[in-house]
Amino acid sequence: MSHELLLNEEVYHRFIQKEVPEARRFVWIATADVKDLHVASGKRFVPFVQVLARLVRDGVEVRLIHAKEPGPRFRKDFDQYPEFVESDLFEQVLCPRMHMKVMIIDGVVAMVGSANLTGAGMGAKSPRRRNFEAGYLTREASEIGQLMDFYDRFWIGDYCGPCQRRDVCPGPLA
């Protein structure tokens, strides 16, 4: 199956828990909001940034685009992992216009949906406390290629020149 509909906690179980930790080359994330997100690891929960830090240590490139400053609890967790500062494999960009929610792994699987990179959006919160979310997981090569091209063009700054939000942008890419 080239497409799989993910609803609510399926986003967490199917993509965050199953696909992301298996990345071997890269994980590209685009989201509007970044907040505290914890994931199951054995019998306990760990910050999602710990999973990303492990990937970076294992040689996996991680790119993160988000629209606003991360929440304070995310920032506190993030600051515990020196690999985010010391490794060239982690890159982060803040763009006030970013609203898409996309994750691309190794160029072979992607998820496009409504969930931000937050505990309520993608996390392991109780079904009574989390957001209602929907997304599609795809392994369709042509679609992933288009997403990667769009993401990469954004990453190298192709959209910065004509952007009319430069007054609120902390660091244009171009």
- How confident is the chain (174 residues) per 10-residue block, as mean pLDDT? 86 92 97 89 91 97 93 91 95 89 97 90 79 94 96 87 78 71
* Residue owning tokens 């992992």: 81
What integer pLDDT is reported at residue 1 of this predicted model?
54
- Listed in sequence order, the DSSP H helices in 58-140 are 72-78, 83-86, 119-122
Which residue carries 């985010």 as its tokens?
A: 84
pTM for the predicted model, two decimal places: 0.93
Asked if 112 contacts 135 with a C-beta cutoff of 8 angstroms, the reply is: yes
What residue spans define the domains of the chain? Answer: 3-158
Amino acid found at 25: R
Coil, helix or strand at residue 99: coil
- 126 C-beta neighbours (distance < 10 Å), count: 7
Looking at residue 116, its pLDDT comes to: 85
Residue 1 structure tokens: 């199956």
The yes/no answer on whether domain 3-158 falls in CATH 2.40.50.100 is no
